[in-house]
Amino acid sequence: MKNSTNKISPGINEQKNSENFHIALLAAYAIGIHSVEKFIPTPIPWLRFGFANIITLTTLLLYGLKAGMTVTLIRIFVVSLFTGTFLGPAFVLSLGGGVSSTLVMWMTMVLFGRLLSPIGLSLFGALAHNIAQLFLAYLFFVRRLEAIIFISPIIILLGIITGTFNGIVTSLIVRRVSAKG
Amino acid sequence: MATFMDKLLFVFLVIFAIASFFFARELFPSGALVKISLDNKTVYTLPLNEDRSVAVRGTLGENLIEIKNGKARMKDAPCPNKLCIHQGWIERGAIVCLPNKVVVTVGGKEKHLEEYDAVTK
């Protein structure tokens, strides 16, 4: 992957093409990370690390909302098609969480970008992801408010932990990339 | 790397999550029970989330208590003013039928109902 970037990028002079290429590459990374993450065992079945959010946030920071949303949508559609969950409950939750967290991270970046580092943005993203999924789960699958309210604090707390971790990784990546370019 | 606002946000979210955890526990006490007592003696202890009706026979006659959808009510009572029936469905608190000495309490976990395991003198 690294080699091909270096080989192809200089050949494409047009900036737009190189940007599209990078976005495609980022989408591929996101798909890879999301797929591999599915195989990592977690102590609680529905606990997910959301490592793919590292790529989403990196894309948002480097290329803006349109690119970030493109990467998120490509990832969710491709992974769900490959794993056979397309249009199933997991797909609905994944899409809702992914789209809302991308939107919220972008809005936070525009509004408070000066005050927050990628860690803060990632925290907002994780929170949006969790709230959207809890809402969708209530709307379509669970329909028991007390169960949702009961589980919310635990999910949000876990989201804070994974969100912080993802934010730290993102800020390391962004710093390295901008130092190079 | 992390800004001051990042840390503030992190601390705020952690406190918020922990606070809402206890808030949720208060709001929906797990395993809420319905305790029905007659003349100060507990005759029934039933889970609130299980639909059923029970009858309790007191000095005046029979009180009919119904548990449904996580709520309890006095369905029928032999007392003259029927205050307990008018109280309707409750999720928490108590319904008292004073003439017949029937008390229905809802809420709380098991440990609250039996405050002491044993008392020594």
Helix (H) or strand (E) holding A74: helix A65-83
Q: Which of residues 13-52 of B touch A (CB under 8 A)?
A: 13-14, 16-18, 20-21, 23-25, 27-28, 30
Mean pLDDT (whole number) for B45-64 = 86
DSSP assignment of chain B: ---HHHHHHHHHHHHHHHHHHHHHHHHS-TT-EEEEEETTEEEEEEETTS-EEEEEE-SS-EEEEEEETTEEEEEE--SSS-HHHHT--BSSEEEEETTTTEEEEE-S-HHHHS--S----
Range of the domain at A65: 2-180
Q: Are A130 and A159 in contact (CB under 8 A)?
A: yes
Contact check, Cβ <8 Å, B17/A112: no
Structure token digits, residue A80: 């769900």
Q: Are A119 and A171 in contact (CB under 8 A)?
A: yes
pLDDT tens for residues A138-153?
898 877 777 788 888 9
Q: Are A62 and A105 in contact (CB under 8 A)?
A: no
> Which has the minimum average pLDDT: A81-85, A104-108, B25-29, B106-110?
B106-110
pLDDT confidence tier of residue B33, bands split at 50, 70 and 90: confident
Structure token digits, residue B114: 């039996």
Distance CA A30, CA A44 (A): 23
Backbone angles phi, psi at A121, to 5 degrees: -60, -40
Higher-pLDDT residue of A167 and A38 is A167
Would you state the pLDDT for residue B113?
43
pLDDT confidence tier of residue B45, bands split at 50, 70 and 90: confident
Which positions in chain A have a beta carbon within 8 angstroms of at least one beta carbon in chain B?
112, 115-117, 119-120, 123-124, 127, 146, 149-150, 152-154, 156-157, 160, 164, 167-168, 171
The complex's ipTM works out to 0.83
Nearest CB among A120, A149, A157 relative to B6 is that of A120
pLDDT confidence tier of residue A32, bands split at 50, 70 and 90: very high
| Number of structural domains in chain A | 1
Contact check, Cβ <8 Å, A116/B5: yes
- In DSSP terms, B103 is beta-bridged to B37, B96
pLDDT tens for residues A48-79?
889 999 999 999 999 999 999 999 999 999 99
**Mean pLDDT, chain A, integer:** 88
For residue A15, the number of C-alpha atoms closer than 13 Å in the C-beta half-sphere is: 1
pLDDT tens for residues B60-105?
888 899 988 888 899 988 888 888 888 888 887 888 888 888 888 8
CATH code assigned at A42: 1.10.1760.20
Q: Are A103 and A128 in contact (CB under 8 A)?
A: yes
